[in-house]
Amino acid sequence: MAVSSPPLPRKKRKINWTPYLFLLGPLLIYLIWIILPMLYTFYLSTTNWDGISPEAKYIGLKNFSSLFNSLGKRVPSAFEYSLVNNLKWLLVFITIPVAIGLGLAILLNNNIRGDRFFKLGIFLPQILSLPVIALLWNYGVYNPRAGLINSFLIQLGFTDPPAWLADKQLVIWAIIFAAAWRQVGYIMILYVAGLKNVDPLLLEAATVDGATAWQKFWKITFPLLAPVTTIVVVISIIDSLRSFDLVWVMTRGGPANASSVLAVLMYIQAFNNYKMGLGAATAVVLFAISLVFIVAYLTRVMRDEMEY
């Protein structure tokens, strides 16, 4: 009868701490500059601190109730204007720039003559800073007399062209249009990269089967671009919710809060009106709205990863 040998002792696996040491620095920076200020903002939103006094009095959720109780009044509050304007910004950003960017990507993906020149020209606004774009549109396009649009309207015979940034009904749409103009080039580049992964053999087979250009796009190209579309929509949502620079440089939220967004209102409350607690509460509301879309996106990505 064979005698079994005793099991060999298992060697302890040595932990390589080198990668963790390299990660320690970025994690500390992220903790100090992102996580701690965010937690402090949550705390400030429950106080009535004015930003100057040495102490902040805890008042619970009164700042949030003050914000939401201002909704639905006969005269819209600054918070209502800001919230509605952010929703307008959101609806425009996930529709018009996405559609135009996708159309330009498909057009320029057909190896037309000078396509690199057109791609560069369309993407060029993306490399400009937002304050520069704000000044460009403020003085070069929307100027009441010397601006590009009104000069053209005057040439057509309009004696009283609109003041784009002084009209309460037009101002927010004018700013959103300037932001969308910049966004189109970025979306186009993302879709151009996505189109490179579409197998041309599928399109050729569909052509042989008699499919029209629309059928090939709707049944083959667009479904294969679904991952890119998800990224584009999420980026557009985040960009629309954190809009600040264009509004602040062009109008500072005016006239009479007509162009204000939540980020601008937060800044004005905290640093102009010395209501740091109310400004922090506005920031928390903006964070909560953004978190809904970010969680939805991460859930979709993680589900796709698990299925893969």
What would the two tokens of residue 141 be? 């396009």
What would the two tokens of residue 175 be? 């700013």
φ and ψ of 286, to 5 deg: -65, -40
Residue 3 pLDDT greater than 70, yes or no: no
Cα–Cα distance measured from residue 157 to residue 28, given in angstroms and rounded to the nearest whole number? 62
Give the tens place of pLDDT for each residue, 119-149.
889 999 999 899 999 999 999 999 988 889 9
CA 274 from chain center: how many Å?
A: 28
Residue 98 pLDDT greater than 90, yes or no: yes
Please tell us whether the domain made up of 47-307 is placed in CATH 1.10.3720.10.
Answer: yes
Alpha-carbon torsion, ordered 100, 104, 107, 111, to 10 deg: -170
Give the tens place of pLDDT for each residue, 186-237.
999 999 999 988 888 888 888 888 888 888 888 889 888 988 888 898 888 8
58: β partners: 47
* Domain residue spans of the chain: 47-307
pTM, entire model: 0.86
Q: Which amino acid is at 20?
A: Y
pLDDT tier, 19 (very low <50, low <70, confident <90, very high otherwise)? confident
Cβ proximity of 241 and 290 under 8 Å: yes
Q: What is the DSSP letter of 297?
A: H
Alpha-carbon torsion, ordered 285, 288, 289, 293, to 10 deg: 170
Of 63 and 114, the one with more pLDDT:
63
Half-sphere exposure of 211 (CA within 13 A, CB side): 17
pLDDT at 8: 58
φ and ψ of 199, to 5 deg: -70, 120
